Amino acid sequence: MDGLRRKILTVSAMAAGLLALGAPQAAWAQDKVIRVMTYGSTWERVLKPKADDFLKKTGYKMEPIIQNSSSEGLAKIQASRAKPGVDIWFTGEAIAIRAATDKDLFLDIPTDKIPNLSKLMPGIAQQKFIPFWYFPTGIVYRTDLVPGGKVTSWQELFTPPFKNKIALPAPTVYAGRIVLLASLLNGGDIDNVKPGLEFLRKNRDQVAMFHSADSAARKALASGEIIAMFGSPSAAKELLDKGIPAAMVSPKPTPITFEGMMMVNNGNPEGAAAFINWSLSDEIQKFMTDVYNLAPVSVSVEPAAELKAVLPSAENAVRFDEGKINQNLGAWTDAFNAAVAR
């Protein structure tokens, strides 16, 4: 019995050796891993379907680490800074500005390693942050449930037919956009958010859920628990792809948000650079806009037809000072939590 076992082990070892000699590329690829901290919907709809393509083109296997929000993701990375276990981190522009001050944890973008940076829209690349997409945040709603089948303005959400049937994000989601939007609608601005916070306090009973994860609002909208939410075109497409009647409108004012990638100091700068370069390729940018319904940052790729229909006009769109958002987001979040507490 021992002799038979030794023979089997010897043959197995010889076979393994032959396989290793015949397939060095496979073993090499298995050792190369890129760990990407991103949003659940981004992984499922954009990255997971293209993971094999990434492996084929770069030799790296993609492993996801899911975050509910970029604020949550940043806290996790910083808490494990000695060994973050993340190579690429997805975040919005405002949170990226905050993270970039942690110079030991986040790496400068190696422009010489990422030739596809030449495809980017002018002026959007930063020293430590590269956008993957941009999008308007407007009203995503159920056409079969809202009165008249249509929503045209922010003000409608705060009328009796919508009472306890809408979802709004906490400031940690979409980097304070809800506070800024409420302020603009009520005579305030980025330097004076008190009117917005007071409006949210007075109308808190109008809101079914103030959520800290966009996925929670999407599920509630899909089930009919709510009939409208503050959200992005990707939320509308997700519902439509499931056969749920939905639409999006970008009323005045419509905040515009850029989201993208940062390189974490995790000992894999080559893999992280390869991921960013792949993400900016025309093929991936087109795939992203077609399946995710967000706008490409490559000047050579057109937004999906469905997205073009909901992009705001120039007069309706608004961009904010991301530096000011970064400086004030913590204070806004505390004031928001106090205002909407029941």
Non-local (6+) Cβ contacts of 330 within 8 A are none
pLDDT at 342: 67
Assess whether pLDDT exceeds 50 at residue 17.
no
What number is the average pLDDT over the span 32-49? 96
- CB 201, CB 178: distance < 8 Å: no
DSSP 126: -
- CB 311, CB 247: distance < 8 Å: no
What number is the average pLDDT over the span 36-49? 96
pLDDT in tens, 284-295: 999 999 999 999
Averaged pLDDT of the chain: 90
pLDDT at 299: 96
11 pLDDT band (50/70/90 cuts)? very low
Assess whether pLDDT exceeds 60 at residue 12.
no
Assess whether pLDDT exceeds 50 at residue 66.
yes
Neighbour-count burial of 286, counting CB atoms closer than 10 A to its CB (0-12 exposed, 13-18 middle, 19+ buried): middle
Within the chain, how many helices (H) and strands (E) appear? 14, 13
pLDDT at 7: 32
In the chain, the percentage of residues whose pLDDT exceeds 70 is 91
- CB 262, CB 91: distance < 8 Å: yes
pLDDT in tens, 247-289: 999 999 999 999 999 999 999 999 999 999 999 999 999 999 9
Assess whether pLDDT exceeds 90 at residue 40.
yes
pLDDT in tens, 161-191: 999 999 999 999 999 999 999 999 999 999 9
37 pLDDT band (50/70/90 cuts)? very high
19 pLDDT band (50/70/90 cuts)? very low
341 pLDDT band (50/70/90 cuts)? confident
What number is the average pLDDT over the span 101-128? 96
pLDDT in tens, 209-238: 999 888 899 999 999 999 999 999 999 999
pLDDT at 35: 98
pLDDT at 210: 95
22 pLDDT band (50/70/90 cuts)? very low
Non-local (6+) Cβ contacts of 25 within 8 A are 59
Assess whether pLDDT exceeds 70 at residue 20.
no
